[in-house]
Chain A
Amino acid sequence: MVDPEAVRHVARLARLGLQADEEKELVADLLAILEQFAVLNAVDTQDVPSDSVQPATAPEVSADEPESFDAAAADLLALTRHERGGFYLVPRILRDPPQHPGAEPPGAPDAPSPEQHPLPTSDPLPSEDGAGKR
């Protein structure tokens, strides 16, 4: 069943942001298209071999050996507007780890900024008595 909520759910899965009027239009389109596609449901496919979803011949897979790529890392990074110091700059995914007694406060003179460390820091290791387990 396709309804606005179903389309919203699928749009979330597909990481598509839709405007309200666009969503309304796409619901109508999907309903109409799936109604046409429903003709497939009447087809008897019982005799179709179960492996029919696989390619007829297995692709020839090359040896798993490293090869150099003719584009330099700088060429690839030049494709994004969001680059610094040889890294892609991406939106923050994880929040700062919880602070522990004795830790440097955020913004202390020697603390690196998040941008200087685009990768998340590791969690503290658990101690022998279990303190620090999460």
Chain B
Amino acid sequence: MMSAATIAGRVRAGELDPVSVTRGALKRLEERDPNIHAYLDADADAALERAEQVAEDAARGDDPGRLAGVPISLKDNIAVKGRALTAGSRILQDYHAPYHSTVVRRLLAEGAVLLGRTNLDEFAMGSSTENSAYAATTNPWDERRVPGGSSGGSAAAVAAGIVPVALGSDTGGSIRQPAALCGVTGFKPTYGSVSRHGLVAFGSSLEQIGPLAAHAEDAALVYDVIAGHDPLDPTTTPAERPSAYKTSASVEGLRVAVPEELLDETVEPRVLERVAAAIDLLGDAGAITKVVPKGRLAHVRLAVPAYYLISACEASSNLARYDGMRFGPRLEQDDLLGTYQRTRGSLFGTEVKRRILLGTFALSAGHHDAWYRKALEVRRLIADEFRALLQEFDLIAGPTSPSGAFPLGEKEDEPWAMYQCDALTAPACLAGLPSISLPCGLAKKGPYKGFPVGLQLMGRAHEDHRVLAAARAFEALRGEPERCALYGNEVAS
């Protein structure tokens, strides 16, 4: 299928009918989704009706917008007025969003066609999309493997060539890690650049909405549309942003740090091999790459415990609202406390309960300073180290994930092993930095032979345009990515 930029350009020029584009996406969804379970539902009628509106706008001579007729899927923790919104949880089954999220309002204002709710780990807590209460999404490269998570549905939808772009959310790596495992591009913006209004809250000081796309160019285009100050999210920053889509795509003269801490023994050697080749490619194109010896990011090894403690504490507070009183099912007991306990105990999944318990424990009397406050202090140390390194360098490069796509069920009963999937992505969330994962080839040997590997680039806060421009440049250097074995040349063309 065509890129989002090409679709929008041709629809605006009157050369392409958005209804036919939508029908094509729906056909692919119908054919492919039964194998991968990327979607919770599609709402084909609403998508076609919307495409007809865009077609009418274009026919009238009105500019239908920068995303005219582009089918875009949304992770099911992003509110679309009147549509179901479950966050992958039974506790929100039958819930329908009473308002649009800000990102949805912005997508619609630019002519996008919303196509389906994609699957996720319950409340975005997970790294494999196995924690959804509705189905496990599988990897389009091999249906016996995970797509990563928690935005695994969005990543799989793009990797299977159903839509050119989908939105996800990233609290500790939930856009980038599934992008890496599915061989697509995934961008987490600077904290505060994209509104979280209408995003089901999990870790409020960490999470951002961002695009997953077949092309870095499309990630930049969608980022430009959804970014910006929003009075409904007081953490958004009012600063003017250069267009990421229009910024010249070049890496020439960019100083790129490659910290040894991100290349340690916990990363699969065949993943490192592909990432090293990608960094060499950046160097060949004029970037000044430098391996930074251990010591500059001395605390990054603590990112996983710091991230999991902070996010669990925030989750325990954010999820307190789900008690069966105002929305969702209520499992009645004889008294109020019993009703709360049965509703929450029965309708939250195991991983969500694990994190609520962890967060409640870490915030409880006698433990707050030892765990929560300590994690915040370590977060500050990590953020300071990244900021200092980015005063000397324009970008930081390394692998996105320590591994490739692993088999379904492999880490399901080992929470700590699953948490390690975020070791390389959580630091950018703790520091609030923009970060992107780009496909950089397939592992040639080892347990992930034949599966995609992701290159991660991180930049300075509010220099999202620079990260995305470097990503577009890398994509041009790399050429077309390896094709998904099951869906072949349909991924992007």
Contact = CB atoms under 8 A, between A and B. Distances in A.
B356 interface: yes
A47 to B, nearest CB: 9
Query: Which of B305, B308, B350 has the largest count of A CB atoms less than 10 A from its CB?
Result: B305
Contacts of B376: 52-53
A119 to B, nearest CB: 15
Interface stretch (B106-114, B270-278, B327-335): B327-335
Interface residues of B, number: 60
Given A32-B416, A71-B99, A37 B305 contact: yes
A37 B371 contact: yes
A80 B328 CA distance: 6
B302 A30 contact: no
A62 B360 contact: no
Contact of A16 (B308, B325, B356, B419): B356
Contacts of B353: 16, 18, 22, 26
B380 interface: yes
Main DSSP-derived SS at the B contact region: helix
Interface in B448-479: none
A80 B325 contact: yes
Contacts of A52: 376-377, 379-380
Contacts of B344: 14-17
Contact of B416 (A14, A33, A53): A33
Contacts of B205: 55
Given A2-B361, A10-B364, A26 B234 contact: no
B247 to A, nearest CB: 25
A34 B302 CA distance: 13
Contacts of A16: 341, 344-345, 348, 353, 356-357
Interface residues of A, number: 52
A45 B371 CA distance: 13
Contacts of A26: 353-354, 357
B377 A14 contact: no
Contacts of A61: 234
Contacts of A34: 358
B341 A80 contact: no
Interface stretch (A86-94, A98-106, A107-115, A123-131): A86-94
Contacts of B357: 7, 10-11, 14, 16, 26, 30
Contacts, number: 141
Nearest to A71: B98
B12 to A, nearest CB: 29
Interface string B361-388: 1001000001101111111110000000
A9 to B, nearest CB: 8
A28 to B, nearest CB: 10
A88 B326 CA distance: 7
Nearest to B96: A79
Contact of A76 (B98, B323, B348): B98
A75 B326 contact: no
Contacts of A18: 345, 353
B32 to A, nearest CB: 33
A45 B374 contact: yes
A40 B238 contact: no
B293 interface: no
Contact of A45 (B330, B340, B350, B377): B377
B41 to A, nearest CB: 18
Which of B348, B354, B419 lies at the interface centre, i.e. has the most chain A CB atoms within 10 A of its CB?
B354
A81 B329 contact: yes
B381 A91 contact: no
Nearest to B363: A13
B332 to A, nearest CB: 7
B337 A15 contact: yes
Contact of A80 (B327, B340, B350): B327
Contacts of A91: 332, 335-336, 339
Contact of A48 (B341, B348, B361, B380): B380
B204 to A, nearest CB: 11
A16 B358 CA distance: 12
Interface string B402-439: 00000000000001100100000000000000000000
A79 B94 CA distance: 8
Nearest to A47: B381
Contacts of A71: 98-99
Given A16-B344, A43-B381, A52-B377, A33 B330 contact: no
A41 interface: yes
B235 interface: yes
Given A16-B357, A43-B374, A70 B99 contact: yes
Contact of A43 (B341, B346, B378): B378
A56 B367 CA distance: 24
Interface of B: 95-96, 98-99, 205, 231, 234-235, 238, 299, 302, 305-306, 308-309, 316, 320, 323, 325-330, 332, 335-342, 344-346, 348, 350, 353-354, 356-358, 360-361, 364, 370-371, 373-381, 415-416, 419
Interface of A: 2, 6-7, 10-19, 22, 25-26, 29-30, 32-34, 36-37, 39-41, 43, 45, 48-49, 52-53, 55, 59-62, 69-71, 75-76, 78-82, 88, 90-93
25 contacts: A15-B337, A15-B341, A17-B344, A26-B357, A29-B354, A29-B415, A30-B354, A32-B416, A33-B358, A33-B415, A33-B416, A37-B309, A40-B309, A40-B378, A45-B381, A48-B380, A53-B376, A53-B377, A60-B238, A75-B98, A79-B328, A88-B326, A90-B336, A91-B332, A91-B339
**3 tightest Cβ-Cβ pairs between the two chains A and B:** A17-B345, A17-B341, A71-B98
